[in-house]
Amino acid sequence: MARAFLIVMDSVGCGGAPDAAAFGDAGANTLAHIAAACSEGRADLGRSGPLRVPNLDALGLGAAVRLASGDDMPGLSAVPVGRWGAATEVSRGKDTPSGHWELAGVPVPWDWAYFPDTLPAFPDDLVAEVCRLAGVGGILGNCHASGTEIIDRLGAEHLRTGWPICYTSADSVFQIAAHEEAFGLERLVSLCRDLAPRLHAMKVGRAIARPFIGVPGDFHRTGNRRDFAIAPPAPTLLDWVQGAGRVTHAVGKIGDIFSHQGISHLHKGKDDAALFDHLDRLAGEAEVGSLTFANFVEFDSTFGHRRDVAGYARQLEWFDARVGAFLARLLPGDLAVFTADHGNDPTWRGTEHTRERVPVVCYGAGAGSFGLCGFVDVGASVAAHLGVAAMGPGRSVL
């Protein structure tokens, strides 16, 4: 009985979304713009030359970008030996839950709630509830902000007052940053957990605990982030597989994204390197017939939002080198699918996600293009490979 590995390279979009203009993202293309910057010598910090991702390119990455958007991919010219295509999202968002849920067969049927980019950003009754739950007299922030910038700006005041730092972004999120030692990690996590039901009732997608440590002038976030996401509106690929009596493994943020539904085993790590260690181990240990669903977040969180083109290119090249060793560990009959949940073009204006199609490149499913497909078709294809009935609207393209 075959195994499947569904691997999300968070934010590694490939342009071409037909509704990109409605999101202000017409022309955005995460992969193509990084490849162009590399080929033109504009991404030589810590690396040099054209973008080098030979393992993913051999599976069809460069071809998928050209299919999705028509944009060139300098440095990626392999004739694919894997199955490849590109997927289009229908959910009305360019956020993490929407992308992952739809990849797992469940489009989002509602419009997410977003907080206005004003000062203050949050309604008084929500602020009062945060204060009540935290046992504090007020909050800091109350605005749209970058997570690293706001702890640099308000971390010292947080230590002085004990008030949590609350902020949001263009995504449907309410984020709370607090010092792990001075405020307390468990206190922060409990605050977000207790606040989440109120946010979910508002159709705010996630309450996110953002712990940090350090002293003024030297604050940095830790790996103990916790997301409390609204539950998917219907059973997802994880539920389909688990309901068929199979084992599911969630690597990285997958547990949080899916509200821990349909998950047999959770594997967390402090960074993407630690998460890839889990993936390598599962390539050798995962049960026959199992699904491993992994998210690698640092493309997005560390490089995309910070508009760090060279850093994003370095991460792609590091990831690709790990892919080669991972594929060598797979068993005959295994399927590995590499895809993304949205874009985050580091050459684009602002700091937020970009609406894009995503590449879908596969190992263990033969060779050739399956063309353009829907996000939901990814989940249906994985289910078909595992011999599990898909309960969503997708169709297998493999």
> How many Cβ atoms from other residues are within 10 Å of residue 136's Cβ?
16
CA distance 260 to 64: 31
Cα separation, 12 vs 8, whole angstroms? 9
Structure confidence at residue 147 as a pLDDT band (50, 70, 90): confident
**Binding site, residues?**
10, 300, 305, 341-342, 353
Q: Report the chain's C-alpha Rg in angstroms.
A: 20
pLDDT, one tens digit per residue, over 344-354 is 999 999 989 99
Which pLDDT tens digit goes with each residue over 149-207? 999 999 999 999 999 999 998 789 999 999 999 999 999 999 999 999 999 999 999 99
Give the whole-angstrom CA distance, residue 335 versus residue 208: 32
In tens, the pLDDT along 377-396 reads 999 999 999 999 999 999 99
- At a CB cut-off of 8 Å and minimum separation 6, what does 389 contact? 240, 244, 383
Which amino acids are annotated as binding site for Mn(2+), given as ranges?
10, 300, 305, 341-342, 353
The first and second tokens of residue 353, run together, are 């996600």
Write down the pTM of the prediction.
0.90
Q: How far apart are the first and last CA of the chain?
A: 17
H or E, element range at 316 = helix 309-329
The CA distance from 121 to 389, in Å, is 44
Helix or strand holding residue 62 (H, E): helix 61-69
Share of the chain above pLDDT 70, in %: 100
Residues 52-63 pLDDT 10s: 999 999 999 999
> Considering only CA atoms, which of 99, 83, 81, 79 is closest in space to residue 91?
99
pLDDT value of residue 320:
98
Residues 6+ apart with CB under 8 A from 397: 85, 370, 371, 373, 377, 380, 381
Higher-pLDDT residue of 147 and 160 is 160
Rounded mean pLDDT, 97-118 = 95
